[in-house]
Chains A and B, each alone.
Chain A
Amino acid sequence: MPRFDTLPLAWMVWDLPAPARRGAVLDQTRELDKFLAEIERRAFRMAQVALRDPDDAMDVVQDAMLKLARNYSAKPSAEWRPLFYRIMENGIRDLQRRRTVRKKFMVWLPGIKEDPEGEAQDPLDSVAAGGLDVPETLMQDQAMQKLEGLLRELPARQREAFMLRNFEGLDVGETAKAMGCSEGSVKTHYSRAVHSLRDRLGEVW
C-alpha cells in the first residue's frame, strides 16, 4: 500500500494511466480515426442532400463527430456507425426545425428575404475534379441534382431510410438503430421511398 505525503502527489500517481490502458486508448483512437475517415465524405454528402447548404452540412457532420468521440468512443466499434448517423440525423432535424422557425419570423420582417434556393452557386464548383469527360460529368451532375431534389421532397423518414440503406449500405437492423424505430418501420419507409422515386424518375432512368 503506497503512502503519499502530499495529496497532489497521490493524485498525480493515481491519475497516471497505466501503460496497458494508454495502449488501449491509442488503439481506440486509431480505430476511431479509421472509422471517421471512412464515413466522413459520405456523411457530408448525405447531410448536404438533406440541408442543401454545404456549411450547414459541415457543421452537422463536425458536431456528430465530436459527440460520438466524446460520449461513445468507449462503445464497441460495431455500434459506432448507427450511433453516428443517429446523432447526425438528430442534428439535421434540429437545424431544419430552426430554419422553419427562422423562415416564419423572416416573413414578418420587411426587406429581408431568403433565397429559397440557397446561395447562388458558381457553376464551376459543381464540376467534379475527376478524369471523366466534361459532357459526361455534366450529365451525371444533372442526374444527381435531379435525384437530390427528389430526395429533398420525400418525407424526412423516407429520405433517411433510403440514404442510410442505399447510400451508406446499412442493413435493416442498423438502419433501425440509426433511425430509432423498428425494423418493420424501416422496411416500410424504404419501400415507400423507392416507390416514390421510381414513379418520378422511372421515365428518365
Chain B
Amino acid sequence: MRENGPQESFSALEVRSRQLFQESVDGLDMRLRSRLTQARNAALDAAEAASRRPWFLRARVWTPAAGLSAAILLAAALWFGMPMGNHSMTAADQPGLEDLDIVASSDEASGDAMEMLQNDLDFYDFADKAASSGPQA
C-alpha cells in the first residue's frame, strides 16, 4: 500500500478526509439543523430589511460623507488658524480700567458700586505715593 507515490498518497488523504467530513455534516442532529434554519431565516429577513431601506438612510452612504465633512472642517480650522484660546488675545483686547463703567453699570446698584470702586482707587493711589516717597519720619 505504501509504495504509492507521494502525489497519490496526498490524493488519498484528501479524498478520505473529505469523505469523513461530509459524513459528519450529514450526521448533524435535527436540533442543530433547526437552529441553522432559524439563523438563515433571520439573515434573509435582515437582507430584505436592508434592501427596503432608502439609499440615503444606509450607513454605507453616510459614514464616508460624515468622515469627509469632519476632515474638511478640520482642514479649514487648521488652514485659517482658528484661535482656540486666550493665547492669541492682543493687548487691545485686554480689559482695562475704562471697562469698569460697563461692569459696574450692568449691576442694579451700579451707582454705589462705582462709588466704592472710586474710593478703592483713591486709596491705592495714596498707598502708591506713600510707598514711592519713602519713610519720612
Q: Which residues of A contact B (CB under 8 A)?
A: 15, 17, 25, 28-29, 32-33, 36-37, 40-42, 44-45, 54, 58, 61-62, 65-66, 68-71, 73-74, 125, 128-130, 140-141, 143-144, 147, 166-167, 194, 197-198, 201-202, 205
Q: State whether A41 touches B47 (Cβ < 8 A).
A: no
CA distance A205 to B16 in the complex (A): 8
Residue of B13, B27, B47 touching A198 (CB-CB under 8 A): B13
Supposing A41-B28, A73-B51, A128-B23 touch, asked if A65 and B17 sit within 8 A by C-beta, the answer is no
Tell me which of B20, B24, B36 contacts A40 (CB under 8 A).
Answer: B36
Chain A residues in 8 Å Cβ range of B10: 194, 198
Stretch of B38-46, B93-101, B108-116 contacting A (4+ beta carbons < 8 Å):
B38-46
User: Would you give the shortest CB distance from B18 to chain A, in whole angstroms?
Assistant: 6
Cβ B21 vs Cβ A45 within 8 A = yes
B29 at the interface (CB under 8 A from A): yes
B54 adjacent to A15 (CB under 8 Å): yes
Instruction: Say yes or no: B25 contacts A41, CB within 8 Å.
Output: yes
Out of A69, A166, A205, name the residue touching B44 (CB < 8 Å): A69
Known: A41-B33, A167-B18. A32 touches B39 (CB 8 A): no
How long is the Cα–Cα vector from A45 to B33 in the complex, in angstroms? 11
Which residues of the partner chain B approach A28 to less than 8 Å between Cβ atoms?
47, 51
Query: How many B residues face the partner with a CB closer than 8 A?
Result: 35
Further pairs besides A40-B39, A45-B25: 19, Cβ < 8 Å: A33-B44, A40-B40, A41-B25, A41-B33, A42-B21, A42-B25, A54-B32, A61-B39, A62-B42, A65-B40, A68-B43, A73-B51, A130-B26, A130-B27, A194-B10, A194-B13, A202-B13, A205-B13, A205-B16
Could you write out 21 A-B pairs with CB less than 8 Å apart? A25-B48, A29-B48, A32-B44, A36-B40, A40-B36, A40-B39, A40-B40, A44-B32, A58-B36, A68-B43, A69-B47, A73-B47, A128-B24, A130-B23, A140-B20, A147-B17, A166-B14, A166-B18, A194-B13, A194-B14, A197-B17
B87 sits at the interface (CB 8 A): no
The answer to the question of B129 belonging to the interface, with a C-beta cut-off of 8 Å to chain A, is: no
Q: Give the 9 A-B CB pairs with smallest separation, nearest first.
A: A128-B27, A69-B47, A65-B43, A62-B39, A69-B43, A73-B47, A40-B36, A36-B40, A144-B20
Interface residues of B in 52-70 (CB under 8 A from A): 52, 54, 60
Interface string of B6-17 (1 = CB under 8 A from A): 000110111011
- C-alpha spacing A74/B79, complex, angstroms: 41
A128 to B35, CA, bound (A): 17
B35 touching A58 by the CB < 8 A rule? Answer: yes
Complex Cα spacing A44 to B34, Å: 12
- Are B42 and A166 in contact (CB-based, < 8 A)? no
Chain B contact residues, majority secondary structure: helix
- Please measure, in the bound complex, the distance between the C-alpha atom of A32 and the C-alpha atom of B52, giving whole angstroms: 16
Q: Which residues of B contact A (CB under 8 A)?
A: 9-10, 12-14, 16-18, 20-21, 23-30, 32-33, 35-36, 39-40, 42-44, 46-48, 50-52, 54, 60
Residues in chain A near residue B27, CB distance under 8 A: 128-130
Nearest residue in B to A57 (C-beta to C-beta)?
Answer: B32
Instruction: Indicate if the CB atoms of B40 and A33 lie closer than 8 Å.
Output: yes
